Copies of this chain bind each other. A is one copy, B any other.
Amino acid sequence: MAIILFDIDDTLFPSTDFSSLARKNALNAMIRQGLETDYEKLDKELQLIIKEKGSNYQKHFDELCSRLNIKNPVRYIAAAIAAYHDTKTSIQPFPKVPFILLKLKEKGHHLYVATTGSSIKQWDKLIRLGIGLYFDGVFVTEEKKDEEFYRQILEKLGSKPSDCIMIGDREDTDITPAKNIGITTIRILKGKHIETPSDADYVIKNMKELLIILLKPSTQ
């Protein structure tokens, strides 16, 4: 029986793909509301805004309308936000994820999320992915996921590093700091960081391989 910590974005679901689709759907919704601007022009300017302001900036579409001198922008902003949110709330897990998580629960493992951001947003994702019931808790940090973050998780759970496994797609935040304090690490090759070399204990392409790793003596 192990404690298994999961990153969410690009580990449990293809977040990069959904973000990109959400932006595309938002721009198309503006055009559907009658905006007479080419998709390519909107897309180019939006990419620049994301680059400058970051992807968590709240006023992307306001800024887009302002930069392109769009008159009476509220209807287009409303259309963009609605389409963006609708895409972001229709997220689906990587196909094998729900089945594998259920198998892990059946084997008595305890599942937690360890990620950045607000806990309400992370629970929202788990619930929308249809896997909320499999998780005992969510650990979040507003800062970087560093050794201290993982140390605090172990402390809160009253666990030793050797009882614990961390799975994620990012070497710098999911693997390195967890490994440094003795947690078994599994790097999953998904999303935009797929090419980064890994120093993790295990490297997997697919969540299904997790079951095989957990059968090995050292992590049982």
Point out residues on A near B: beta carbons under 8 Å.
29, 33-34, 72, 74-75, 77-79, 81-82, 85-86, 89, 119-121, 123-124, 126-128, 132-133, 137-138
**Chain A interface secondary structure, helix, strand, loop or mixed?**
helix
Q: From the candidates B29, B33, B127, B137, name the one contacting A33 in the complex (CB within 8 A).
A: B127
Cα distance, A127 to B75, chains bound together (Å)? 8
Contact: B123 with A79, CB < 8 Å? yes
Q: From the candidates B86, B123, B137, name the one contacting A78 in the complex (CB within 8 A).
A: B123
Besides the contacts A33-B127, A74-B123, what 5 more A-B pairs have beta carbons closer than 8 Å? Answer: A33-B132, A78-B120, A81-B124, A82-B128, A85-B89
Q: In the complex, which residues of chain B have a beta carbon less than 8 angstroms from the beta carbon of A34?
A: 133
- Which residue on B lies nearest to A33, using beta carbons? B132
Supposing A119-B74, A138-B74 touch, asked if A82 and B133 sit within 8 A by C-beta, the answer is no
Min distance, Cβ A120 to any Cβ of chain B, angstroms: 5
- Which residue on B lies nearest to A80, using beta carbons? B127
Number of copies: 2
Contact: A132 with B85, CB < 8 Å? no
Contact: A127 with B72, CB < 8 Å? no
Contact: B74 with A120, CB < 8 Å? yes
A-B contact pairs, 26 of them (CB 8 A): A29-B127, A33-B127, A33-B132, A34-B133, A72-B137, A74-B120, A74-B138, A75-B123, A75-B127, A75-B132, A77-B120, A77-B123, A78-B120, A78-B123, A78-B124, A78-B127, A79-B123, A79-B127, A79-B132, A81-B120, A82-B89, A82-B124, A82-B127, A82-B128, A85-B89, A86-B89
- Which residue on B lies nearest to A121, using beta carbons? B78
- Which residue on B lies nearest to A85, using beta carbons? B89
